[in-house]
Amino acid sequence: MKIVIIGAGGRLGAALMREYQGEHDVAGFNHAQLDLSNLDKIREKLGETDFDLLINAAAFTNVDLCETQSDQAFRVNAEAPGVLAEICGEKNAKLIHFSTDYVFGLDQKRRSPYAEDDPPGPVNVYGTSKLAGEYLLRSCCSKQFVIRTCGLYGVGDRGGKGGNFVETMLRLAQAGRPLRVVADQVCTPTYTSDLANAVVELIATKHYGLYHLTNANACSWYEFARAIFELERVQADLTAITSAEYAAPARRPVYSVLSTGLYESLGLAPLRPWPEALAVYLHERQQKVARIT
């Protein structure tokens, strides 16, 4: 199978490259090679490329910056996926596209995991642009998987946000910086290697459609940070705060935990709980550091 992965230089794209290389003919495009804000370049580059499966692991993911650069957010997160879907339709190719838990959040009282058929309600430009991308993509391509996920982190992260949450917490703690982390936003941090492995299992079913896919269970960002420091045995000046105290430019969902029941209904095993995945990531991270030193 010939596979093209867009966003191959990011945290998820790198995990997908590792998952597929060796068994398939895989080509990866990083941001410099294929910028999703250039729609004409997308048509030109992919129009001349032969593939059976296109995986879009790229997006404009800076949630706060999306608020002031909404045109760019909608071009990358909405218009570009629509173009990718058109190209896949013309080539009769399969398409995998990743969306976000941030398509939810309008229901401030919600405290049960969201299923795929729950009505979305984003509270920021990022979530709105990603939801628009879902609609455009699903209307243009029949052989598609749209996968909503959450809080990605992974080995070899070269994402555009300057590192994942785990690395940011450890870097700031080791620098002796005080850490104020929100305790009133609940979600499910997801390890990219686990997600990439699950994606391979999902697409083999050929049950196309919209799926939620994350590690199991849920936590606040403060609980996630505390677990990082406990597992790494790092003493950190960590304080729990509210979203109002943090005062980010973009609103975030108070609760955006995703139900993976539809994925599991296909006979596929749920991803391991987030604390187990985090422990594995930190172990692999230590091994990587040891090899370098």
| pLDDT of res. 293 | 54
Summarised one tens digit per residue, pLDDT across range 179-191 is 999 999 999 999 9
| pLDDT of res. 117 | 97
Residues of the chain below pLDDT 50: 157-162
| pLDDT of res. 157 | 47
| pLDDT of res. 287 | 79
Integer CA distances (angstroms), 274 to 8, 218, 220, in order: 24, 7, 12
- CA angle 102/107/113 to nearest 5° reads 65
| pLDDT of res. 159 | 43
Selecting among 20, 102, 114, 126, the annotated active-site residue is 126
Lookup result for tokens 């250039």: 38
Cα 18 to Cα 290: distance, rounded to the nearest angstrom: 21
Summarised one tens digit per residue, pLDDT across range 134-160 is 999 999 889 999 999 999 999 764 444
Domains assigned to the chain: 2-292 (3.40.50.720)
| pLDDT of res. 160 | 40
Q: Is 281 a catalytic site residue?
A: no
Q: What is the dihedral of CA 10, 12, 13, 17, to 10 degrees?
A: 130
| pLDDT of res. 289 | 64
**Do residues 161 and 31 lie in contact, with contact meaning Cβ atoms separated by under 8 Å?**
no
Q: What is this structure's pTM? A: 0.95
Kind of pairing, strands 186-187 and 219-220?
A: antiparallel
Burial of 223 (0-12, 13-18, 19+ CB in 10 A): middle
**Do residues 62 and 72 lie in contact, with contact meaning Cβ atoms separated by under 8 Å?**
no
| pLDDT of res. 291 | 63
